[in-house]
Amino acid sequence: MPSSHLLLEEPIRMVSILEPSKPSFFSAMTKIVGTLGPKSRSVETISGCLKAGMSVARFDFSWHDPEYHQETLENLKAAIKSTKKLCAVMLDTVGAEMQVVNKSEKAISLEANGQVVLTPDQGQEASSEILPINFDGLAKAVKKGDTIFIGQYLFTGSETTSVWLEVSEVKGQDVVCIIKNTATLAGSLFTLHASQIHIDLPTLTEKDQEVISSWGVKNKIDFLSLSYTRHAEDVRQAREFLSKLGDLSQTQIFAKIENVEGLTHFDEILQEADGIILSRGNLGIDLPPEKVFLFQKSALYKCNMAGKPAVLTRVVDSMTDNLRPTRAEATDVANAVLDGSDAILLGAETLRGLYPIETISTVGRICSEAEKVFNQDLYFKRTVKYVGEPMTHLESIASSAVRAAIKVKASIIICFTSSGRAARLIAKYRPTMPVLSVVIPRLKTNQLKWSFSGAFEARQSLIVRGLFPMLADPRHPAESTSATNESILKVALDHGKALGVIKSHDRVVVCQKLGDASVVKIIELED
């Protein structure tokens, strides 16, 4: 990974494009989040997904019940055990999502130029003439001429089940619409998107709260994906809610930006959240298409400068039904990496797609190629300049570790950490080599029982570009004496060797504390 001089700003020899890539242990430094569902819930398929490079599993509660998701999660645990690949768990909320209520789930045909009425009266049966919805404020929120989109859950844009509507009249609580294209709504869940209006539904619904307090607590979720985050206050409220749920006070909140309202408050939201999900599926409907790339580039830049992980969605929709992505999609994945994303989130591709494993490995391979031409030097300089002086001690240590590792062509950076902070700061400077984040457990108490910290911190690095966690043995005392440092370092080096990322005579950069002082040291391995 570190060897390349190939930079996109420099002329690339065309033949070099054809050189086969060297195989490496890590499929990519960029992480892959997979949404698990019907086509990706057997132990066998999940094992394949883990081996192909999925490091976070997303459970989307917009869809299906806790029992179903629990079964999938049990299979994930079995797959983790058998493949020995780590995987974090993300709970995705429903939030302010408008849904069509079609209890019988029968297919509904809609004809272009015809009329259909959207009504909050859920007692009505869904038909080609009337579609009940779960929100009673639509009539107040829209006006004649507004556009409404109805798409299948995790719509890909290539299915013929999505429909565009134009509001022609508001009648009491009902909204009368003209159908713009012929479509058949077939499938279990359809969501509604009305462009650029405020939907007066809570960000954390009652159902979400219930699911988090039961399923979430039981499974100690690593990440909460907060759907339809529109204000910083949404994140603060979710944080307050999690803080009362025992272990979930350690759950990280990823604010999902899915509409223009969230985009408008992006800076404040970023300050409050632990990470951001750029939900391009929904945002792509809310924004004019020509503006989507601008949001992507500026939001990723802001996340990078804040040192907070950014996840991008909806990259290879066409792989839901095909073994190869379109050229546009393949290029889009590479651009996501060049623009700075930490992780790529797959939706329909893994949930109901025919090729979940192949999709993950294809995306991983594209990411890995893009990482090689990522202009780290330019990025590093920009970041240092943005942070300004004086830097905090730790940030100065972290950036120095990355600089040193590049200068000496180290094969890996090993970072000791308990809170995960130091490792995240190193990742912020986008090293070209993997970072082994050695999480040292700390003994802690909540006045009722004693336990070790570390598991959350380790798994939470599975969404950060370049970070690969290892949990140190809690029998090592957490104080950073030189004897314990040495023994933990030995375990970490052995781990790196076993993984194949460190070989004899390699140089390794280590970031750790000695007594009170943080140090960066360069070691050269003998054998």
Ligand X SMILES: C=C(OP(=O)(O)O)C(=O)O
Q: Which residues of the shown chain bind ligand ADP in the complex (CB under 6 A)? A: 394, 397, 415-419, 421-422, 440, 478, 480, 485, 511-513, 518
Strand partners, 414: 436, 510
Residue 102 interacts with, from ligand X, K ion, Mg ion, none (CB under 5-8 Å by kind) = none
Candidates 55, 282, 437, 453; binder of Mg ion (CB under 5 A) is: 282
What is the DSSP-derived secondary structure letter of residue 222? S
- Measured between alpha carbons, how far is 416 from 472 in angstroms, rounded to an integer? 9
Q: Which two tokens stand for residue 200?
A: 């007066």
- Measured between alpha carbons, how far is 509 from 149 in angstroms, rounded to an integer? 52
Residue 512 interacts with, from ligand ADP, Mg ion, ligand X, none (CB under 5-8 Å by kind) = ligand ADP
Min. distance of Cβ 288 from K ion in angstroms? 24
- Measured between alpha carbons, how far is 463 from 345 in angstroms, rounded to an integer? 10
Nearest to 221 by CA among 195, 193, 196, 247: 247
Q: Name the residue nearer to ligand ADP (CB basis): 8 or 517.
A: 517
- Measured between alpha carbons, how far is 369 from 22 in angstroms, rounded to an integer? 10
Q: Name the residue nearer to ligand ADP (CB basis): 20 or 515.
A: 515
Residue 437 interacts with, from K ion, Mg ion, ligand X, none (CB under 5-8 Å by kind) = none
Q: Name the residue nearer to ligand ADP (CB basis): 75 or 485.
A: 485
Nearest to 259 by CA among 139, 99, 97: 97
Q: State the amino acid at position 409 in one-letter form.
A: K
Identify which range of 232-240, 280-288, 354-362, 474-482 contacts Mg ion by CB under 5 A.
280-288
Min. distance of Cβ 394 from ligand ADP in angstroms? 6
Q: Which residues contact 53 (CB under 8 A, 6 or more apart)?
A: 26, 27, 28, 32, 360, 361, 364
Helix (H, G, I), strand (E, B) or coil at 389: coil
Binders of K ion in range 216-275 (CB under 5 A): 227
Q: Does 279 bind Mg ion (CB under 5 A)?
A: yes
Q: Which two tokens stand for residue 480?
A: 């950073």
- Whether residue 179 contacts residue 144, with contact meaning beta carbons closer than 8 Å, is answered with no
Q: Give exposure, 308-320, as e/b (b: 16+ Cβ within 10 Å).
A: bbbbbbbbbbbbb
- Contact positions toward ligand X, by CB under 6 A? 60, 62, 92, 154, 227, 258, 279-282, 313-314, 347
Q: Does 152 bind Mg ion (CB under 5 A)?
A: no
Q: Name the residue nearer to ligand X (CB basis): 154 or 373.
A: 154
- Whether residue 217 contacts residue 245, with contact meaning beta carbons closer than 8 Å, is answered with yes
Min. distance of Cβ 423 from ligand ADP in angstroms? 7
Min. distance of Cβ 279 from Mg ion in angstroms? 4
Min. distance of Cβ 205 from ligand X in angstroms? 13
Q: Torsion angle, CA of 237/238/239/244, rounded to 10 degrees?
A: 100
Min. distance of Cβ 476 from ligand ADP in angstroms? 8
- Measured between alpha carbons, how far is 352 from 188 in angstroms, rounded to an integer? 12
Binders of Mg ion in range 231-260 (CB under 5 A): 258
Helix (H, G, I), strand (E, B) or coil at 324: coil
- Measured between alpha carbons, how far is 294 from 311 in angstroms, rounded to an integer? 16
Candidates 36, 49, 90, 92; binder of K ion (CB under 5 A) is: 92
Q: Name the residue nearer to ligand X (CB basis): 116 or 311.
A: 311
Min. distance of Cβ 63 from ligand X in angstroms? 9
Q: State the amino acid at position 16 in one-letter form.
A: S
Residue 415 interacts with, from K ion, Mg ion, ligand ADP, none (CB under 5-8 Å by kind) = ligand ADP
Count interface residues toward Mg ion (CB under 5 A). 3
Binders of K ion in range 30-69 (CB under 5 A): 60, 62
Min. distance of Cβ 395 from K ion in angstroms? 34
Q: Name the residue nearer to K ion (CB basis): 28 or 351.
A: 351
Q: Does 453 bind Mg ion (CB under 5 A)?
A: no
Q: Which two tokens stand for residue 355?
A: 């090729």
Using CB positions, name the residue nearest to ligand ADP. 418
Count interface residues toward K ion (CB under 5 A). 4
Q: Name the residue nearer to ligand ADP (CB basis): 196 or 419.
A: 419
Using CB positions, name the residue nearest to Mg ion. 282
Q: Which residues contact 525 (CB under 8 A, 6 or more apart)?
A: 493, 502, 503, 504, 505, 506, 507, 508
Q: Name the residue nearer to ligand X (CB basis): 60 or 329.
A: 60
